[in-house]
Chain A
């Protein structure tokens, strides 16, 4: 039976229904669009929920919440500065340590490694990113802190103790421990993305530089890195985002102490770790909402970082046509 005959045998209402819905495409479009809208609504809902559920705290403390240092559940007085500073201090230090390391790995994997080694090495680096955060915390708490961080803290305290960053007695669980664990955790993220950036740079760039007499290192440092700078910055921002929100591993090694010094050798607190530590113990609404407001600050911070990364990529892709878009 021909298609035409089959169509003609269909009941009239089937045909008109098919025509009206474009043979199912209209409802399909509707469903797909609804799925997309629900993803967008989810993003909005996270922001709205955090905003609404921190209303008590926002009314009680206003913007002062961001720069006062008391955190006293007994006297119902809350300020988030120690946690904000703790998060920034540990994340920035982790970034400073992880950046050269990650660039080294990315350069080795993309430019120097022999072909047969590239795949397995890249694979190992990616596995490092897949280890659950709570296992980093467990290993950090019982292995890494006693064998590496504590002795290292002693060395810093003896040699650089006059700096405010290394003042005071040496503790095992400390901001230093958190920063080092974060360094290990964000290195695979940054190096995997920057490796892809290096691999995306056209061959002609390398050949031209080498032909002018540059050494391989000069080619990498003066040609390839500037060329891929926007992509590398994107990788750094990705790593920064991961460090800011990292919870379990940091909570387990930072010592969770409301310490007002900036010393790296002291136990401290981050925004994520105070939330996970006190959220289920918050006994009254204001307390809970103060914790939610810390979550809101964290959310806004990662949102701004993301917008900045977008802007960066947009800005560069406008300047350099097409090539490096990581």
Chain B
């Protein structure tokens, strides 16, 4: 063997060692990245549990907020307010979202279907604060006061694209022959869609709605401009109304220590609600996919 080929051989070996080294380092870094990304979740959850748990009591769910310095009190009005706001959002968003999803599934490639897809994309990209401004100009300005109605509308706009997408995805999972079978038996298209397709996709639709609720239940930004918050009991939808995420914001940026404590406890209530809905929805999705073998 000549000296040159030995040298080449050695250099190739070296090169190979180098490539293997790069491989090991970069692959190692990807697992580091994963750990780094998940750390904040554990940190946030741990902190909210620890700080929020200290002041958690039954009163917190049944009492009205107390002024600064007065101990005790709760966020009962914000819990009810959040429920009303989310309920209004569902009322406004679910019917058109389901119908639009039926269209998107049935005729995805017509001009209107493509426009709908683009519209849904745009809508899901609109920042929630901009949606808040929209609800302000449409409801608050004409009524001349902040109201739960405006808040519900803002949340509905945010919810709409989430439900459309989720429902469309779930309709895609329904076997084609169900639809064909129904049509072959002589059922008209509307009966097929509403009595066969939607029920077959029902749990999927429910998960979509749950994800939508989880998303809007945590929205605070649009509520600042629309439902505004309210320290008292109110179930009148034409009046300002309290909500959990908005309450956290108000408590957190106030300069009082006891309000900060309440912010953490409210955050605990909200995070359990939102993450609980999310976990339930995702378990339902994975269960359904396994069931359909998809």
Which of B104, B115, B189, B275 touches A130 (beta carbons < 8 Å)? B275
Check: A108 CB closer than 8 A to any chain B CB: yes
Q: How far is the CA of A248 from the CA of B224 in the complex (A)?
A: 10
Return the chain A residue nearest B117 by Cβ.
A310
Check: B59 CB closer than 8 A to any chain A CB: no
Chain A, residues 109-149, CB within 8 Å of chain B (1/0): the string is: 10011000001010111111011111111110111000000
A133, B221: Cβ atoms closer than 8 Å? yes
Given contacts A104-B34, A275-B133, are A40 and B115 in contact (CB under 8 A)? yes
A136, B44: Cβ atoms closer than 8 Å? yes
Check: A299 CB closer than 8 A to any chain B CB: yes
Which of A33, A103, A218, A302 touches B127 (beta carbons < 8 Å)? A302
Chain A, residues 259-284, CB within 8 Å of chain B (1/0): the string is: 00000000000001001100110000
Give the dominant DSSP class at A's interface: helix
Q: Which residues of B contact A22 (CB under 8 A)?
A: 188
Check: B249 CB closer than 8 A to any chain A CB: yes
Check: B67 CB closer than 8 A to any chain A CB: no
Check: A187 CB closer than 8 A to any chain B CB: yes
B130, A276: Cβ atoms closer than 8 Å? no
Q: How far is the CA of A33 from the CA of B112 in the complex (A)?
A: 9
Check: B77 CB closer than 8 A to any chain A CB: no
Check: B102 CB closer than 8 A to any chain A CB: yes
Counting chain A CB atoms within 10 Å of each CB, the highest count among B29, B102, B104, B133 belongs to B133
Return the chain B residue nearest A277 by Cβ.
B224
* Segment 1-41 of B: residues with Cβ below 8 Å from A: 19-20, 22-23, 26-27, 29-34, 36-38, 40-41
Given contacts A104-B34, A108-B31, A130-B278, are A302 and B99 in contact (CB under 8 A)? no
Check: B160 CB closer than 8 A to any chain A CB: yes
Q: Which residues of A contact B221 (CB under 8 A)?
A: 133, 247-248, 272, 276
B63 to chain A, nearest CB (A): 21
Check: B90 CB closer than 8 A to any chain A CB: no
Given contacts A39-B100, A279-B225, A298-B127, are A138 and B252 in contact (CB under 8 A)? yes
Check: A43 CB closer than 8 A to any chain B CB: yes
B245, A217: Cβ atoms closer than 8 Å? no
Give the dominant DSSP class at B's interface: helix
* Segment 251-268 of B: residues with Cβ below 8 Å from A: 252-253, 260, 263-264, 267
Given contacts A132-B218, A139-B48, are A46 and B225 in contact (CB under 8 A)? no
Interface size range on A against B: 35 or more
Which of B19, B137, B189 touches A53 (beta carbons < 8 Å)? B137
B90 to chain A, nearest CB (A): 16
A215, B34: Cβ atoms closer than 8 Å? no
| Contact sample, A vs B, 26 pairs, CB 8 Å cutoff | A22-B188, A23-B188, A32-B102, A36-B103, A36-B112, A36-B115, A36-B116, A39-B123, A39-B164, A50-B133, A50-B137, A108-B30, A123-B282, A125-B38, A127-B41, A128-B40, A131-B218, A135-B218, A218-B23, A244-B127, A247-B128, A252-B249, A252-B252, A279-B224, A292-B133, A310-B118
| Interchain residue pairs A-B with the least CB separation, the first 4 | A245-B127, A132-B218, A104-B33, A28-B190
| B interface residue numbers (CB < 8 A to A) | 19-20, 22-23, 26-27, 29-34, 36-38, 40-41, 43-44, 47-48, 95-96, 99-100, 102-104, 112, 115-116, 118-123, 125-134, 136-138, 141, 157, 160, 164, 186, 188-191, 193, 214-215, 217-221, 224-225, 228, 245-246, 248-249, 252-253, 260, 263-264, 267, 270-271, 274-275, 278-279, 282, 286
Q: List 5 additional A-B contacts (Cβ < 8 Å) besides A36-B99, A46-B126.
A: A28-B188, A108-B30, A132-B217, A141-B252, A247-B127
